[in-house]
Amino acid sequence: MKTEKTNPFLISAGGYFKRNLGTIIGLLLLCLIAAISTDKFLTGSNLLNLLKSNAVNAIICCGMLMAILMGQIDISVGSTVGLSGVIGAYMVTNMEMPVWITVVCCILIGCLIGLINGIAVSYFNIPAFVATLATMSIGRGFTQIISGGVSIRIRNDAYTILGTKTFGGVSVIVLYAAVALLVTWLLLNKTRFGYYIYAIGGNRLAAKYSGVNEKLFNMLPYVYIGALCGIGGLIWSARLGSAAATLGTGFEMDAIAAVVIGGTSMSGGIGTVGGTFIGILIIGVLNNGLNLMGINSFWQDVFKGIIILVAVIIDVLRKSKARAD
Amino acid sequence: MSKASLLKMTDISKSFASNVVLKGIDLELGEGEVVALLGENGAGKSTLIKILGGIYRADAGGIYINGEKKEISSAAAAGANGIRIIHQEIILVPDRSIAANVFLGREYRSRLGMIDYKRMQRETQEVIDEFHLNLDASALVRDLSIGMQQLVEIIKAISADAKIVVMDEPTSSLSQGEAETLFRIIEILQKKKVGIIYISHRLEELFRITDRIMVMRDGKTVGDVKTKDAEKEQLINLMVGRELSNYYTRNEHPLRGVSLEVKGLSHEKYFKNVNFKANYGEIVGFAGLVGARRTELMKTIFGTLSKKDGEILLDGKKIEIKRPKDAIDAGIVYVSEDRRGEGLVLLNDVEFNMGLVCLKDFVKGIHVNKPAWRSMVEEYRKKFSIKITSPKQRAGLLSGGNQQKIVLSKWLAKGPKVIILDEPTRGIDVGSKSEIYAIIDELASMGTSIIMVSSELPEIINMCNRCYIMCEGRITGEMKQEEFSQEIIMKYATDSLEHIR
């Protein structure tokens, strides 16, 4: 199992398994079903491919986890990925800008959208769903404007290599995802930033009365989410070698699903990177398995929706039971 | 004063809109001194404390710490000045450890900027051990009893560099043993020259641990006595001694037999073995202090909370109430104390709100009988002289008195047998109050059975035929009209603890 990768510190592997027992069993069951249904599933190349195609989702999930930990949400992530990808492609192709400037710009664009989300949610008290719905539409609009509604072909090897390089068969984007998960784990478990996110999500008033600048620390995670989406867009367009106006469509769905399946409570305060990691794998296996079985992507959406509903219902039932005790 | 002055609040005033809550309060606190703040609900204690804690800003007056004038404009500023408030309700992050809660807002960090959990855990454990509490600093707050959570709040407040500690009803959720622990903590703090402001209704406690008692009433200081010179009777008189106004309407009505009877009703957490009876044509009061669990009892009867045990009988027949609809169908209605939160749809108009309960009566198939609905609204507008310009006026914009009349209309249109009024005159101006009393009296004359929860003793004494007094989830006394006295009711509501324990 890859679980030890995200949790080499503090928590013993045993505690980790125990805490995420339900989702781990679910993951193994899914793998079993996939392996039985198609002999293509349990091959080295397919498993590597599975990791690669879910790497960007993992990066986005790192941010989504923070939003949901605060009892909020960010549905603008897919649109931000699209915007960053298209801007990246446009800058290196149409404007022939150096790659490093392009990378910095894409990340800054992500941060900017995150900043707008954060200010709207934290300082103007706009419900996160509404604020990020608005920025989602804005981002999508700009993506169309910049790309002119068509796909931009990227002809710059220095750029595409950011998404296509491999190390011993492992794609570089899997490494990006691993770094993002590790950094997020550190942020949440080892820094004041993470400490406050849990406090705000668990009991906002407690944070405020303890002298925490709860508005600032409610805003900052959105900037982090935005930066991650900026990186996600870069990687995705580099990997594909092109950026379409529809890039990133529906990414929010996979991210929310993975975080919620990973045991994060929609009402905030409870959730871990380790749990989310399993959620990401579950979504990955689901997508991959259904693809291999030749079931079309529309059905995948149906299944994912059902899984989110079930995961949230389980969370709510667990909560109300805890209250009754 | 013998001890060096630590805190001085002078001439503090505060109003919310037109409601004057504090009228020039002075408070002084010395090093190592424990001062009690005593007063009825609504006397302004909480507001005063919130001003000290930086949650509200005073309209006028100054705060001096060690003789220096300070602006306390935020919770953080209060904290920086060594002020620690322990709130009555528990404000902790449930899914984090004790140590993480204790250090929230002032956590230790290593050179790399990483949170130093080990050190926080160690220091929290040291404080826990210093006070001989049997707790593990790494335990989740969620897994602790309410009393232990309250102690965690206290540890959190004092483990930092505390100079002034405010405790708002700290023993309200503590067991006897936990309360003893608290008193021990207070003694240790006194030795460390920490000043403590202690709010409690339990006079026994005040006599035991405080040096001075300051009594507040209606936003003013009405007494400031050394604890060793104070007497219980004198304090109660100071606390309740307002003049009884004569704006009550109360006539004799014949009682018409038992309506509601509650036998052995218990709730998981809030109350135990409650027994009482109400009659048609009678006004039955429920007196008590905050935390007596009167509202929870009434909500259980109405079906918004679920009972653990016991029976509810109406007209001698046992009824099962699982949800409010069951209660309403049986003829029992509940007028919430939280008018704006639970009583009205503030954004909608008067007509909408009045029709909410008995909408079914105006609807046949897809046809809404608008004229009937309108005339109902008009009937109650006249009857209760509700001041509205049109039935389409937004409910949220009306005064408290008019809002309460609308809520009453909404329920009365259903023609209930039993009406439970929870703090029916809270936040209502004097004129409207008087009108509400007249409505209540008229309802009784028509034979409605009325149950009135009220924290205003004059209201209970002047309006009720009979009253029950509750304390911490139990009925501790029952009195008839001819026996009513504020002093005895207060005794039941505060002192009764000793009889129980």
Please give, rounded to a whole number of angstroms, the shortest distance from the CA of B308 to a CA of chain A.
12
Top pLDDT among A239 and B19 is at A239
Distance CA A90, CA B51 (A): 56
Q: Which residues of B touch A211 (CB under 8 A)?
A: 75-76, 79-80, 105-106
Decide if B140 touches A, using CB distance below 8 A. Answer: no
Q: Which of A182, A183, A195 is the mutation pick for testing B, counting most B CBs within 10 A?
A: A195
Distance CA A280, CA A8 (A): 18
The answer on pLDDT for A3 being more than 50 is: no
Distance CA B381, CA A308 (A): 50
- Domain of A246, CATH number, reads 1.10.3470
- One-letter amino acid at B2 equals S
pLDDT of A8 reads 44
The answer on pLDDT for B125 being more than 80 is: yes
The answer to whether B54 touches B78, Cβ cutoff 8 Å, is yes
pLDDT of B210 reads 92
- The mean per-residue pLDDT over the stretch B322-346 comes to 88
Please give, rounded to a whole number of angstroms, the shortest distance from the CA of A16 to a CA of chain B.
17
Q: What is the mean pLDDT of chain B?
A: 86
Of the partner residues B92, B95, B268, the one whose CB lies closest to the CB of residue A270: B95
Please give, rounded to a whole number of angstroms, the shortest distance from the CA of B199 to a CA of chain A.
19
Top pLDDT among B173 and B459 is at B459
The top-scoring range by mean pLDDT among A316-325, B327-336, B349-358 is B327-336
Distances (CA, A) of A273 to A28, B37, B166: 19, 47, 39
The answer on pLDDT for B172 being more than 80 is: no
Distance CA B421, CA B440 (A): 9
The neighbouring-strand residues paired with B83 are B164
Of the partner residues A194, A208, A270, the one whose CB lies closest to the CB of residue B75: A208
CB contact under 8 A, B104 and A206: yes
The answer on pLDDT for B346 being more than 70 is: yes
Nearest-Cα residue of chain A relative to residue B156? A210
Decide if B62 touches A, using CB distance below 8 A. Answer: no
Decide if B79 touches A, using CB distance below 8 A. Answer: yes
Q: Which structural domain range is residue A183 located in?
A: 3-7+53-316
pLDDT of B499 reads 44
Min mean pLDDT across A272-276, B90-94, B145-149 is at: B145-149
pLDDT tier, B176 (very low <50, low <70, confident <90, very high otherwise): confident
Decide if B87 touches A, using CB distance below 8 A. Answer: yes
User: DSSP assignment of B400-411, as one string?
Assistant: HHHHHHHHHHHH
pLDDT of A179 reads 96
Please give, rounded to a whole number of angstroms, the shortest distance from the CA of A68 to a CA of chain B.
15
| A322 lies in some domain | no
The answer on pLDDT for B436 being more than 70 is: yes
Query: What is the dihedral angle through the alpha carbons of B369, B375, B378, B379, rounded to the nearest 10 degrees?
Result: -130
Q: Which residues of A touch B101 (CB under 8 A)?
A: 206
Instruction: Note the pLDDT tens digit of each residue in A12-49.
Output: 677 788 778 888 888 999 899 888 888 888 888 888 88
The answer on pLDDT for B66 being more than 60 is: yes
The answer on pLDDT for A184 being more than 90 is: yes
pLDDT of A125 reads 93
Which of these, B429, B423, B419, B34, lies nearest to B209 by C-alpha position? Answer: B34
% residues pLDDT > 90 (chain A): 52
| A236 lies in some domain | yes
The answer on pLDDT for B61 being more than 70 is: yes
Instruction: Note the pLDDT tens digit of each residue in B14-38.
Output: 887 667 788 889 999 999 999 999 8
**Residues whose CB is less than 8 angstroms from the CB of residue A296 and which lie 6 or more positions away in sequence, other chains included:** none
Tell me which residue has tokens 């004494």: B461
How many separate domains does chain A show?
1
The answer on pLDDT for B498 being more than 90 is: no
The answer on pLDDT for A320 being more than 90 is: no
DSSP A290: H
Which of these, A2, A3, A28, A1, lies nearest to A275 by C-alpha position? Answer: A3
Nearest-Cα residue of chain A relative to residue B116? A190
pLDDT of B244 reads 41
- One-letter amino acid at B490 equals M
| A12 lies in some domain | no
| A80 lies in some domain | yes
Decide if B95 touches A, using CB distance below 8 A. Answer: yes
pLDDT tier, B327 (very low <50, low <70, confident <90, very high otherwise): very high
| A209 lies in some domain | yes
pLDDT tier, A267 (very low <50, low <70, confident <90, very high otherwise): confident
The answer on pLDDT for B446 being more than 60 is: yes
The answer on pLDDT for B311 being more than 70 is: yes
Q: Which residues of B touch A182 (CB under 8 A)?
A: none
The yes/no answer to whether this complex scores an ipTM above 0.90 is no
- The mean per-residue pLDDT over the stretch A169-188 comes to 93
| A43 lies in some domain | no
**Within its chain, how far is the Cα of A34 from the centroid?**
24
pLDDT tier, B370 (very low <50, low <70, confident <90, very high otherwise): confident
Q: What is the mean pLDDT of chain A?
A: 88
Could you give the domains of chain B? 5-240 (3.40.50.300), 252-331+427-501 (3.40.50.300), 346-415 (no CATH)
Instruction: Note the pLDDT tens digit of each residue in B188-214.
Output: 888 888 999 998 877 788 888 999 999
CB contact under 8 A, B113 and A322: no
Of the partner residues B95, B109, B114, the one whose CB lies closest to the CB of residue A202: B95
The answer on pLDDT for B430 being more than 80 is: no
**Within its chain, how far is the Cα of B250 from the centroid?**
27
| A99 lies in some domain | yes
CB neighbours of residue A15 within 10 Å: 12
**In angstroms, what is the C-alpha Rg of chain B?**
25
% residues pLDDT > 70 (chain A): 95
% residues pLDDT > 90 (chain B): 28
Which of these, A155, A161, A190, A182, lies nearest to A173 by C-alpha position? Answer: A161
Please give, rounded to a whole number of angstroms, the shortest distance from the CA of A65 to a CA of chain B.
16
| A145 lies in some domain | yes
Instruction: Note the pLDDT tens digit of each residue in B134-168.
Output: 889 999 998 887 788 888 988 888 887 888 999 98
pLDDT of A323 reads 54
